[in-house]
Amino acid sequence: MLLPLLLLPWAWGALDASPPVPQESLTLRLLLTSVFHNASSTDMELTALLGNLETHSMDCSTCKIRFLQPWAQLGLTPVEWQDQETVIHHDLSNFIGLVNELVKDEGEGYPFVTQVSTGCELLPNGTSRGFYDVGMNGEDFVSFNVDAGKWVARRGDKLALHIQDILNYNWPAANKLQFLLKTTCVNKAKSFARYGKESLERQERPVAVVFARVPPPAGTPAPVLLVCRVTGFYPRPVRVAWLQDGEEVGPGGRLNSSGILPNADLTYQLRSSLAVGPGAGHSYACRVQHSSLGGRSLLIPWGYSRPWGPGLIVGITLGVVAVAAMAVVLWWSRRRGYQGIGPGDPRV
Ligand SMILES: *[C@@H]1O[C@H](CO)[C@@H](O)[C@H](O)[C@H]1NC(C)=O
Ligand SMILES: *[C@@H]1O[C@H](CO)[C@@H](O)[C@H](O)[C@H]1NC(C)=O
Ligand SMILES: *[C@@H]1O[C@H](CO)[C@@H](O)[C@H](O)[C@H]1NC(C)=O
């Protein structure tokens, strides 16, 4: 049963050398969302993530740190964690005070939302990248250039430029932030990566299906769109390719991809589509490579509806010939073996 399948051209494609799945970086990230209702009322929520795992959160009605992973409390004693709560609470109060003051100076109106995303990314080549990005009402506002140690406005208006200047004027704080992102954050990310090794290194296998998008109305020569939907995989790096007659389809206008998107259950999904000509006559398959597959790939053919085409008949014929040839070879080698070391042979 398997032999004919092995002889189909697309199956051979899977055995070709193909580029490896890219390596993953690891990001330790703090997200701070603040809703400024008015000068005296602000709601804040702080979340820490390692990769895509939420590790800690803090809701500032109580300002207590919540540990969201069993290993998230490692590294500091309970008293040290309480000290952290105090420090964070203090920093957040300063942040609220500063923002309210700036807003008053600039005559900005309430309510508004600010979002801060800061942390560091450990890259596969052993280097790291720090970041500190601030958004306002859903748009980029100012960012910290970690290498230069300078704040950069991400909007051209007066408020953003003014805040850029104020932040840069406080160069001791900028130097301290540079150190925090280049050194402290990297060390923290490495320790958390050790504590959370098991969660971070878990492997979830992808599930993939191939289907054709609703075909165009009869008579139109429009191409058919084949879609390969891959979901449920973890970690994030994955490689999805289309094979046409066993050959990988190169980059270009025929391919489109959704990019890797998160699922609600901490796995990922991706959709890759291939536009194919209306005149068929080719075999297609979607190939998925992922670390959970132990070096093999998932291969999902499309066009199972015509498996008895000439390709398969030729395949089966070749298969039968191959089996017969193998049987002859085996029979011969056995015969020669018996002759060579049979009973009574002088060499035994
Ligand atoms: C500020 O906003 C909060 C929440 O929306 C509201 O309860 C409070 O009355 C407001 N205070 C002032 C001074 O407007
Ligand atoms: C490490 O990788 C990053 C991103 O992939 C690249 O920008 C950087 O130049 C690399 N650094 C070294 C020293 O190879
Ligand atoms: C790729 O797919 C997206 C939606 O998934 C679509 O908006 C976009 O136009 C497509 N691009 C091409 C070149 O087909």
pLDDT digits 0-9 by tens, 63-83: 889 999 999 998 889 999 999
- Tell whether the model's pLDDT for residue 317 goes beyond 70: no
At residue 30 the predicted structure's pLDDT band, cuts being 50, 70 and 90, is: very high
What is the rounded CA–CA span in Å between residue 55 and residue 67? 6
Domain contains 333? yes
* Better pLDDT: 221 or 203: 203
Domain that holds residue 332: 320-348
At residue 20 the predicted structure's pLDDT band, cuts being 50, 70 and 90, is: low
- Tell whether the model's pLDDT for residue 21 goes beyond 90: no
Residue 275 CA to ligand 3 center (angstroms) comes to: 11
pLDDT confidence of residue 277: 79
Domain contains 309? no
Looking at the fold, whether 180 and 211 belong to one and the same domain comes out as no
- Report the chain's mean pLDDT, rounded to a whole number: 82
pLDDT confidence of residue 10: 34
For residues 26 and 200, is the Cβ–Cβ distance under 8 A? yes
For 4-9, which contacts have Cβ atoms below 8 Å and span 24 or more sequence positions?
4/312, 4/315, 4/316, 4/319, 5/315, 6/319, 7/314, 7/315, 7/316, 7/318, 7/319, 8/283, 8/301, 8/311, 8/312, 8/315, 9/245, 9/246, 9/283, 9/311
In 3-state terms, what secondary structure has residue 243?
Answer: strand
- Tell whether the model's pLDDT for residue 338 goes beyond 60: no
What is the rounded CA–CA span in Å between residue 299 and residue 219? 32
Residue 124 CA to ligand 2 center (angstroms) comes to: 8
Looking at the fold, whether 279 and 217 belong to one and the same domain comes out as yes
- Tell whether the model's pLDDT for residue 316 goes beyond 70: no
Final residue in a domain of this structure, among 200, 233, 249? 200
Could you tell me the CATH number of the domain that includes residue 226? 2.60.40.10
For atom 8 of ligand 2, which residue has the closest CA? 127
Ligand nearest to C-alpha 270: 3
Looking at the fold, whether 166 and 216 belong to one and the same domain comes out as no
For residues 204 and 267, is the Cβ–Cβ distance under 8 A? yes
Strands (E), 39-148: 41-50, 53-59, 64-67, 112-122, 128-136, 139-145
91-104 mean pLDDT? 89
At residue 341 the predicted structure's pLDDT band, cuts being 50, 70 and 90, is: very low
Residue 283 CA to ligand 1 center (angstroms) comes to: 65
- Tell whether the model's pLDDT for residue 108 goes beyond 50: yes
Looking at the fold, whether 246 and 341 belong to one and the same domain comes out as no
For atom 14 of ligand 2, which residue has the closest CA? 125
Domain contains 312? no
Domain contains 310? no
Looking at the fold, whether 39 and 170 belong to one and the same domain comes out as yes
Final residue in a domain of this structure, among 185, 200, 215? 200
- Phi-psi group of 325: left, alpha or beta (phi > 0 → left; psi -120 to 50 → alpha; rest → beta): alpha
Looking at the fold, whether 91 and 162 belong to one and the same domain comes out as yes
- Tell whether the model's pLDDT for residue 200 goes beyond 80: yes
CA distance to 56, 192, 196, 234, 335, per residue, from 71 (Å): 10, 8, 6, 19, 64
Looking at the fold, whether 93 and 216 belong to one and the same domain comes out as no
Ligand 2 pocket mutation, candidates 24, 27, 127, criterion most atoms within 8 A of CB = 127
Strand order in the sheet with 247-248: 247-248, 239-244, 284-289, 297-302
Total structural domains in the chain?
Answer: 3
Looking at the fold, whether 70 and 87 belong to one and the same domain comes out as yes
Could you report the per-residue pLDDT of 121-179, keeping only the tens digit for each?
A: 999 999 999 999 999 999 999 999 999 999 999 999 888 999 999 999 999 999 999 99
Residues with CB under 6 A from ligand 3: 256, 258
Looking at the fold, whether 190 and 279 belong to one and the same domain comes out as no
Nearest atom (ligand 2) to Cα of 126: 1
Nearest atom (ligand 1) to Cα of 38: 1
pLDDT confidence of residue 309: 38
- Tell whether the model's pLDDT for residue 22 goes beyond 60: yes
Residue corresponding to tokens 């959160």: 57
pLDDT confidence of residue 347: 39
Residues with CB under 6 A from ligand 1: 37-38, 40-41
Residue 125 CA to ligand 2 center (angstroms) comes to: 6
